[in-house]
Structure 1
Amino acid sequence: MILGIKNIILALLLLLSILIFGFLYYSYKVLKSQLELKRFKNAVDNSNNFVVVTDKDKKIKYINKSMSSVTGYSLNEVIDKTPAIFAAGIIPEDYYKKMNEAIYSGEKWTGEFINKNKEGNIIYEKATISPIFNEKGKIEEFLAIKQDITKEKEILKSLKEKDHRLTQQARMVIMNEILNSIAHQWRQPLSIISTAASGLLIHKEYGTLNDKLFTDLADSIMNNSQYLSQTIDNFKSFFKTGNDVTIFNIKNSLDKSYKLIEYRLSNLEIKYIFNCDDDSIVLKGIENDLIQVFVNILNNSMDALENLGSRPKLILIDISKDENNVYIKIKDNALGVSEEVINKIFEPYFTTKHNFQGTGMGLYISHQIISDQFKGKISLENTGFSWEKAQYTGVECLITIPLLDDNFENERPTLGTN
């Protein structure tokens, strides 16, 4: 009997111990969870990222301190309102529609917002919005974690504006070079026309104007006038090309470039050697811009060759291709430049003896056109080469441009067209 009572007491004590231990363990777990929750809340509240929690109807239930600090709104001011309170009214409705379709279908969405603070200042945000599900698998809340990218956007905008200014300056430089080419092309024909016209007047005045002399002088005036007219047509064709993206023949583009500078080549007694392995190569882009690149590089070479005096002056152009790219090599025998110059030659405003008459913008814009528009590469290096059994040194410009893929095969123009 006494033994049975002892066993009951021991069992009760054991049960009580288990209950006390269970209660203490439960209290410990609850306290630990509360501490962890508090630490998590403190971490979220003091995070540099913006944190916004909304219910399934997108009514705001929580914003952290960073969000409050940047927007100027307290939690009390935005609670139960939608995030539209932050919208700057710049993003189109379709953008939000696609976002809502994603998050309400249970997907995570990542994108950017253009919002504003309480004072109306623009805030650029990179955001990730995730749906939060309850135990039944239904969407209960949405969690948005956002980063302030306003400074990055402002820097990018500033760089784009600077790049635009540099591009405009460079285009003005190239335009000036084109106009100088026109002046060079016209100088001698105008002089011949003026001399012939003066000759007609003088011979007429002294009565020595016979039919043959009249015909010779008139032919001279007519021929040079036609040359001037052809020059106008060449430059008109260049300016008329415009900024349309087309599929064009690269050999034709180099021929057009040559027509813009042929008088200066002749005047400087520069031998122009052109070789093209395949005269059917075509590219897609703004042809006018590529012609500007060619004219600029050729003008740089002519500037340098002008200093060679009576020595032979050469410009050699070679076009070749492989399965993926077209390669345009333009080289001269103007003795080359230093490696230090080569490394800086595509920087804006950097000038060399290969560009001593310009502002240093031509090669910069050439680099921009080739890399940005044609997705290609342009490089310069000193080179040695032989031509007609003689050795020369100079600079070689290599332009590498990806060829059109097979999707454009049927769009290719016939030779002699744009």
Structure 2
Amino acid sequence: MQRIPTTATFKLLIASSVLFPILMFLLAIWQDYRSLLETNRVEVTRSTATFKHHAMNVFETHQLIADRINEHLRGVSWDAIASSDQVRSFLHRLADDYPQVQAIWLADATGRVRNGSEFLPAKPVNITERDYFQALREKDSGIFIGHIVKPLVMKNLNFNLACRRWNPDGRFDGVIVVTVFPEYFSNFWNRAVPGKECTVLLLREDGSVLSQMPRIDPNRLHLPPGELKTITAAPGQNFVSSALLDGVERLYGYQRLDKYPAYLLYGVNQSELLKVWRRHALYYGCFFAVALGTLLGCSLAANRCSRNEEAARRALQESEDRLRQLGDNLPDSAVYQYVHEEGGRVRFTYFSKGIERLNGVTADEVLRDAGVLHRQIPEETFRDMVAAEALSARLLNDFAMEVPMRRSDGELRWMRLHSRPRRLPDGQVVWDGVQTDVTARRQAEDELRQLNEELDRRVGERTLELRRKDQQMIQQSRHAAMGEMIHNIAHQWRQPLNALGLTVQRLQMFYELGEFDKKFLDESVEDSMLLIQHMSKTIDDFREFFKPDRDREEFAVCVVIERALQLVKASFENSQISISFKRRAECTINGYPSQYAQVILNILANAKDALLERGVQDPEVAIEVAVEGGRSLVTIRDNAGGIGAEVLPKVFDPLFTTKGPQGTGIGLFMAKTIIERSMHGEVSVRNADQGAEFRILV
């Protein structure tokens, strides 16, 4: 006879049927909330890092542009800048080449805008009230980021990046201003996260808003001090706030832009997270409500099992079907359970039908052979997954991993596997988990990464282009020196040509006198060949000077100087200018020997011109090689009386010359470029006791 449950047992069964689903429901929605929150934190952190990288690239590009303008206009007066259409065209081309640049302005030390990439209005424009002008006038702080202002020339709100114009004595000589529209950043953010309810802020460290998505509110261009303190005091790189600009509660990620005084904030609405969580909670609620009803039904059926066994079986089957249907209908997800058996074999005990939508295989195929699913995962990734599962089994903590899976139809999808292990009494470990398709999110991340790589590539190409132009200027300078070298060769050849002519005349004379014999012929041939070899060596020296340097190499400074002196020796002797060369040390440096020789020749040519122009009695040039601070020091002095005080600061400026139409204005400029850019050294000039003294330190 079947035993009928007692009332106490039945009440306990009912209570368990109610409490267990409720506890499981609370545990499930709590775990789901934590998972969603962590996913949001990871997404916010990644997006913040991406937007920060983009902003850094933009600011670094602006700094490179400002440096290039400084180099281009070094030594050019403000009056020349203000009246130069070439300067405006140069600035206009720079602004056109970079979409993140809206305009470029040049203002002198009084704050008056003297030229720019756009046409200036008839009325003078003055920027002395701008914060960047006042800050840079007080001290040279590098690149200064100004707050958003109503423009004086253009129509839309903008902010500016500014730096001091270079001045050799360090005093304030005006600013270079690069104008940026905030919409450049917000347009990029809109493309990176289309249709998403989020906000992105670019702030100065004092709380001034530089750009914002959605649009900037002109009435709120500065964060209150309390909100700025919330950002800087937040632990890690995330915080939750409901008072930044619009009062909406968001999860924010923030990062400082390294060397720039600015922050990048990216925030996702907490309400969106709660909507997703409530929707999941509804699914779980339906699931556990059915489970609760099922358990209650089973309990009631058990109480009447002796009379109602068939009805209870049918009710149980219906409940299982409902649970299975709920698992099968989860959007973009599939529910699974698997165990690790002895020998490390994996066996799935359950998989919802969502696996067919996600992976293109049926649940029955996976239950028969787990390899059907595992073979869709790349071998290396599968090994990492097995190692992570082993660690999860040992520590009994959650397993979570995103893996690529290639379906049987060839389509590649990314899946997030998230499961929780539990150990059975027999020692086996069982995982209950959910597989979710995250392909769309990964594709969005890949597209964002490609945008950043394209930006890096374009910056690299522009940098290479600037370097090629520098090399072209060096070659032009070398060609400009070719005329001087040909003049030197003429002096080198004049004496041996005269001697060779006398030898030929002697041959005729001795033949007519009857004294022409083999001994005289051999001596004449030997003398002639020595003269010809000397002239050939002059040509070889000339060719060696104009041979381009392809790679850096170690070379002796004294050897290069002696080679340069051989090229100009005859020219200096013909002009009755003496050259002395004193070696206080033997120095070896790494660089480009031909370019180094060109620097020496350029300085010697300038010294020669000064001595001849001023008609100095007993003209001389003294060259000395020594060591200073572990680097080679070459000093070249003349006794031509020195350089005028008004000319001295400009001798290295491009296109500056005191020789009138005969001068090119690029010799000393290229000398400084070669030493300081190509060889990372220093070149300077000063007036010594009797003349000018050039110092080359490498």
The interval holding the TM-score normalised by the smaller chain is 0.5 to 0.7
Q: Give the letter aligned to residue 50 of structure 1.
A: F
**Matches of 2:512 and 2:663, distance apart in 1:** 47
Q: Out of 341, 350, 369, which is 2:674 matched to?
A: 369
**Structure 2, unaligned stretches of length 5 or more?**
1-156, 159-180, 200-213, 215-252, 277-440, 453-458
The match for 1:80 is: none
The match for 2:643 is: 337
Q: Give the letter aligned to residue 371 of structure 1.
A: E
The match for 1:400 is: 697
The match for 2:665 is: 360
TM-superposed CA distance for 1:289, in Å, is 0.7
TM-superposed CA distance for 1:314, in Å, is 1.4
**Matches of 1:192 and 1:365, distance apart in 2:** 39
Q: Out of 534, 544, 549, which is 1:237 matched to?
A: 544
**Matches of 1:257 and 1:316, distance apart in 2:** 14
TM-superposed CA distance for 1:329, in Å, is 0.7
The match for 2:142 is: none
TM-superposed CA distance for 1:348, in Å, is 2.5
The match for 2:628 is: 322
- SS of the equivalent of 1:335 reads coil
Single out whichever of 282-291 and 336-345 deviates more from structure 2.
336-345
Contact in 2 for aligned 1:52/1:63 (Cα 8 Å): no
Q: Give the letter aligned to residue 668 of structure 2.
A: L
349 and 198 in structure 1: CA distance in 2 versus 1, 3 angstrom threshold: farther
Question: Does 1:311 find its partner at 2:446?
Answer: no
198 and 62 in structure 1: CA distance in 2 versus 1, 3 angstrom threshold: farther
**Matches of 2:635 and 2:532, distance apart in 1:** 35
The match for 1:298 is: 604
**Matches of 1:57 and 1:226, distance apart in 2:** 71
323 and 348 in structure 1: CA distance in 2 versus 1, 3 angstrom threshold: closer
**Matches of 1:306 and 1:276, distance apart in 2:** 27
The match for 1:288 is: 594
Q: Give the letter aligned to residue 294 of structure 1.
A: I
**Structure 1, unaligned stretches of length 5 or more?**
1-42, 65-74, 76-105, 112-126, 147-151, 385-392, 402-418
Contact in 2 for aligned 1:53/1:63 (Cα 8 Å): no
The match for 1:51 is: 186
TM-superposed CA distance for 1:51, in Å, is 0.6
Q: Could you tell me the TM-score, scaled by structure 2's length? A: 0.35
Contact in 2 for aligned 1:272/1:316 (Cα 8 Å): yes
The match for 1:170 is: 477
- SS of the equivalent of 2:525 reads helix
Q: Give the letter aligned to residue 636 of structure 2.
A: I
**Matches of 1:370 and 1:278, distance apart in 2:** 20
128 and 61 in structure 1: CA distance in 2 versus 1, 3 angstrom threshold: farther
Aligned positions of 1:7-406 closer than 5 A: 47-52=182-187, 58-61=193-196, 131-133=266-268, 135=270, 166-205=473-512, 207-209=514-516, 214=521, 217-240=524-547, 242-279=549-586, 281-307=587-613, 311-352=617-658, 358-384=663-689, 393-401=690-698
**Matches of 2:548 and 2:470, distance apart in 1:** 24
TM-superposed CA distance for 1:399, in Å, is 1.5
- SS of the equivalent of 2:685 reads strand
- SS of the equivalent of 2:585 reads coil
Contact in 1 for aligned 2:685/2:692 (Cα 8 Å): yes
Which structure is larger by alpha-carbon Rg, 1 or 2?
Answer: 2
TM-superposed CA distance for 1:165, in Å, is 6.2
63 and 233 in structure 1: CA distance in 2 versus 1, 3 angstrom threshold: farther
- SS of the equivalent of 2:186 reads strand
**Matches of 2:677 and 2:593, distance apart in 1:** 14
Contact in 1 for aligned 2:487/2:571 (Cα 8 Å): no
Q: For 1:263-312, what per-residue CA distance to the aligned partner results, in whole angstroms no more than 9, with x for missing partners?
A: 22332333222222221x22221111111101111122222333566832
Q: For 1:126-169, what per-residue CA distance to the aligned partner results, in whole angstroms no more than 9, with x for missing partners?
A: x997553565799x9999xx9xxxxx99x999988986664443
**Matches of 1:218 and 1:245, distance apart in 2:** 43
Contact in 1 for aligned 2:478/2:546 (Cα 8 Å): no
Q: Give the letter aligned to residue 296 of structure 1.
A: N
163 and 285 in structure 1: CA distance in 2 versus 1, 3 angstrom threshold: closer
157 and 347 in structure 1: CA distance in 2 versus 1, 3 angstrom threshold: farther
**Matches of 1:63 and 1:310, distance apart in 2:** 77
**Matches of 2:533 and 2:505, distance apart in 1:** 19
TM-superposed CA distance for 1:246, in Å, is 1.0
- SS of the equivalent of 1:346 reads coil
- SS of the equivalent of 1:50 reads helix
**Matches of 2:190 and 2:649, distance apart in 1:** 58
Contact in 2 for aligned 1:166/1:348 (Cα 8 Å): no
The higher relative CO (CA closer than 8 Å, separation ≥ 6) is in: 1
**Matches of 1:48 and 1:55, distance apart in 2:** 10
Q: Give the letter aligned to residue 582 of structure 2.
A: N
- SS of the equivalent of 1:242 reads coil
**Matches of 1:176 and 1:166, distance apart in 2:** 17
Contact in 1 for aligned 2:254/2:263 (Cα 8 Å): no
Q: Could you tell me the TM-score, scaled by structure 1's length? A: 0.56
**Matches of 1:170 and 1:62, distance apart in 2:** 58
59 and 277 in structure 1: CA distance in 2 versus 1, 3 angstrom threshold: same
**Matches of 2:496 and 2:197, distance apart in 1:** 80
Q: Give the letter aligned to residue 172 of structure 1.
A: H
- SS of the equivalent of 1:340 reads coil
**Matches of 1:206 and 1:168, distance apart in 2:** 56
TM-superposed CA distance for 1:378, in Å, is 1.6
**Matches of 1:215 and 1:379, distance apart in 2:** 54
The match for 2:401 is: none
- SS of the equivalent of 1:378 reads strand
**Matches of 1:228 and 1:351, distance apart in 2:** 34
